[in-house]
Amino acid sequence: MSSNKLNWSRRSTFILAAAGSAIGLGNLWKFPYMAGENGGGAFVLVYLLCILIIGLPIMMSESLIGRRSHSDAMTAIGKAAADSNGSKNWQAIASIGFVCVFLLFSFYSVIAGWALDYTVGFALGDFFGKNQDEVEGLFDALLASPARLIGWHTVFTIMTAVIIMGGARKGIEKAIAVMMPLLIIILFGMLVFSATQTGKFMEGVHFLFNWSPEKLKDPSVVISALGHAFFSLSLGMCAIMTYASYMQDDIPITQSAAWVTVLDTLIALAAGLVIFPIVFAHGMAAGSGPGLLFVTLSTAFADGGSLGTVLGVVFFFLVSIAALSSSISIVEPVVRWTIERFDVSRKAATVSYCGLTWLLGLATVFSFNIWSDVHLLGGEKTPFDLIDYLVSNILLPLGGLFIALFTGWVVSKNVSREQLPELSDALFHLWHFMIKFVAPVAILLVFYSVIAE
């Protein structure tokens, strides 16, 4: 159905859209706090390795499968299988992705709601002149209020739904084209601030890049890093596959995937380099968890007079936009598939799915207040922790494993080769080797190490 097509109007749009999908809360909010909780350098090293040897090859696989069929993910996998004389059952991979959509979007929207709340809070001057304890108090007050969290969660869900539903796509394409560069500029400006004003820049650098191999023995660090590589690159649930299905045939997939990967990684590292010097300068705890971004940066902004307030508004607004450009890519694949499969309207599909994830999102909302003592499965995890763990550390790597196995073992080399003409023979074989052996073995090893623990 041509009406479902995202009109990628320019050649660069795939990179922009895929980068918009990849760059989001994962880079700005999640990466720093995970690095903090997992001891810094050890986590970062494994994360970078996962990006390079697993993430990039799988991003190329998802892209080529999506691009060659120009259709929804389920159909795309089916076609690649059929053209390679493989079984259609591989389409089940897309089902894993579709399960992820609901879980992932349910908490994504709640956290994005925090950023919306902060944008407004800074605009109203709530943070002006506040000291660190007061800033922490404001964050705790937000988490303690289910009504406020639900309000912003609702606003964010509606924003996502409206964009997915309507012709606003041209709008988002334009918005991303402006916002993403702006985000990069602001982040860079803050990097300069961290480097020159905190006096603790080198401590931050040391924390992030101090590769202490002894910490690698802890399998939980490794699985978190692997899971986060998938999360951050938007891999494992056919989101990139769906975006690539809108890509023109003559665009080199390798370069596009490499650009997206590099940009995504740089932005995560930049966020870490902005945040940790501030953490150390204020004597905060690196491992303080999901509040890290919101408490550290707000403390620095609150300290910065009127300029700090303006920067606070702009920064959290950009975080919200980055989250929005990611959230549409979370929901779009399943919406697109539903429309093509069941011939329902885009509006009906969007409203039903967003309604469902909104409801599920309440579990995350309550995890920070009335259910904060609810620890499921006898562990220490709140419902939010559990949903995040299930998606990031299990389902996304599992989806990625199947995509790698499918491309490496089922899809014929000729079929892949046609989509990757830019590669020399040697590089093509390298990619194929990575996707056939290295990526699956690495993912299986990580799973095994966690199970064997």
Taking the least distance from each CB to ligand TRP, the nearer of 330 and 398 is 330
Q: Please report, as a single letter, which amino acid is at residue 181.
A: P
Determine the Cα–Cα distance for residues 230 and 22; give it in Å rounded to an integer: 10
Taking the least distance from each CB to ligand TRP, the nearer of 21 and 160 is 21
- The distance of closest approach from Cβ of residue 318 to ligand TRP in the complex, given in angstroms and rounded to an integer, is 13
- And the tokens for 341? 């499969």
- The distance of closest approach from Cβ of residue 97 to ligand TRP in the complex, given in angstroms and rounded to an integer, is 8
- The distance of closest approach from Cβ of residue 239 to ligand TRP in the complex, given in angstroms and rounded to an integer, is 4
Cβ atoms < 10 Å from Cβ of 240: 31
Taking the least distance from each CB to ligand TRP, the nearer of 44 and 284 is 44
The residue count of the chain comes to: 453
- Per-residue CA distances from 386 to 355, 382, 392, 397 (Å): 21, 6, 10, 16
Taking the least distance from each CB to ligand TRP, the nearer of 239 and 295 is 239
For helices 292-302 and 253-281, angle between their N-to-C axes, nearest 10 degrees: 60
Rule CB under 6 A: which residues touch ligand TRP? 21-22, 24-27, 231-232, 234, 237, 239, 326, 329-330, 396
- The distance of closest approach from Cβ of residue 154 to ligand TRP in the complex, given in angstroms and rounded to an integer, is 20
Taking the least distance from each CB to ligand TRP, the nearer of 17 and 279 is 17
- The distance of closest approach from Cβ of residue 106 to ligand TRP in the complex, given in angstroms and rounded to an integer, is 13
Q: Please report, as a single letter, which amino acid is at residue 109.
A: S
Taking the least distance from each CB to ligand TRP, the nearer of 314 and 334 is 334
DSSP-H helix ranges across 235-304? 239-244, 253-281, 292-302
DSSP string, 311-372: HHHHHHHHHHHHHHHHHHHHHHHHHHHHHHHH---HHHHHHHHHHHHHHHHHHHHHHTTTTT
Taking the least distance from each CB to ligand TRP, the nearer of 329 and 407 is 329
Q: Which residues of 74-107 are buried (b: 16+ CB within 10 A; e: fewer)?
A: bbbbbbbbeebebeeebbebbbbbbbbbbbbbbb
Half-sphere exposure of residue 243, counting CA atoms within 13 Å on the CB side? Answer: 33
- The distance of closest approach from Cβ of residue 21 to ligand TRP in the complex, given in angstroms and rounded to an integer, is 5
- The distance of closest approach from Cβ of residue 414 to ligand TRP in the complex, given in angstroms and rounded to an integer, is 29
- The distance of closest approach from Cβ of residue 96 to ligand TRP in the complex, given in angstroms and rounded to an integer, is 11
CB-based contact 278:302 (threshold 8 Å): no
Q: Please report, as a single letter, which amino acid is at residue 284.
A: M
Cβ-closest residue to ligand TRP? 26
Taking the least distance from each CB to ligand TRP, the nearer of 127 and 243 is 243
Taking the least distance from each CB to ligand TRP, the nearer of 330 and 443 is 330
Determine the Cα–Cα distance for residues 61 and 407; give it in Å rounded to an integer: 6
CB-based contact 34:43 (threshold 8 Å): yes
What is residue 159's three-state secondary structure?
Answer: helix
Phi-psi region of 376 (alpha: psi -120 to 50; beta: other; left: phi over 0): beta
Cβ atoms < 10 Å from Cβ of 418: 13
Cβ atoms < 10 Å from Cβ of 129: 12
Taking the least distance from each CB to ligand TRP, the nearer of 26 and 41 is 26
- The distance of closest approach from Cβ of residue 235 to ligand TRP in the complex, given in angstroms and rounded to an integer, is 6
- The distance of closest approach from Cβ of residue 412 to ligand TRP in the complex, given in angstroms and rounded to an integer, is 27
- The distance of closest approach from Cβ of residue 344 to ligand TRP in the complex, given in angstroms and rounded to an integer, is 23
Taking the least distance from each CB to ligand TRP, the nearer of 59 and 415 is 59
- CA trace torsion 37, 320, 156, 51 (10° rounding): -50
CB-based contact 64:244 (threshold 8 Å): yes
Please tell me what DSSP assigns to residue 303. Answer: T
